[in-house]
A and B are shown apart, each in its own frame.
Chain A
Amino acid sequence: EVQLVESGGGLVQPGGSLKLSCVASGFTFSDYATHWVRQASGKGLEWVGRIRNKANNYATAYGASVKGRFTISRDDSKDTAYLQMDSLETEDTAVYSCARLGEGVALKNAFDVWGQGTMVTVSS
């Protein structure tokens, strides 16, 4: 079964750090870009950032609200992507999900596999 499973969420104080993991199974993880998307309670979807695959030099990009505070990495040998979150703010409270995206004209260029998400709460 093709799936993504996130872990690492929890309660953290403002200014603190947290590292999320996204473990892939059922497909060749290294072929795909991995994106992170978050959703605050009752709100819409907000793109956090992405890391592309090796063929695209593992290039990263981030949304404006997290740039400089969050870092995305991956370990293809472990079929895992990571989201390192530093200098957390109360506004970062949300469910964080990872999603797979296949790039190029032959692939879907959309998020066709999503994890269930992990809750991050930033509060004192």
Chain B
Amino acid sequence: DIVVTQSPDSLAVSLGERATINCKSSQSVLYSSNNKNRLAWYQQKAGQPPKLLIHWASTRESGVPDRFSGSGSGTDFTLTISSLQAEDVAVYYCQQYYSSPVTFGGGTKVEIK
């Protein structure tokens, strides 16, 4: 199974500042058919189901603010919130779909400092 490890577990950032979340997979998730990474990022606010932010590691979902960006390839990935807003307080998860079983990172809780 591919193990997905997120860091840090929690993060406190001032409004308007940058937040960076890291995700590492135990194996490459690069899909050879299109040379893209089968890695997604989700945002989960309290009491709500997760919301897809980024797929194929760097493609922003429609309607997601452009302050959210995904980067990385192979085994190392990053979600960046360029200017943290109050509504971004949530838990963020990365997830790989390169192979079964699908696996999620443990989550990163983002709060306002």
Contacts and interface: CB of A to CB of B under 8 A. Distances in A.
B49 A44 contact: no
Contacts of A117: 49
A114 B107 CA distance: 18
Contacts, number: 64
Contacts of B102: 35, 47, 50
Contact of B55 (A44, A105, A110, A115): A110
Q: Which of A50, A111, A115 has the most CB of B within 10 A?
A: A111
Contacts of A81: none
Interface string B52-74: 10011001010000000000000
Contacts of B33: 105
A64 interface: yes
Contacts of A114: 49-51
Nearest to A60: B100
A1 interface: no
Given A45-B93, A116-B49, A109 B38 contact: yes
Interface in B66-113: 93, 95, 97, 100-107
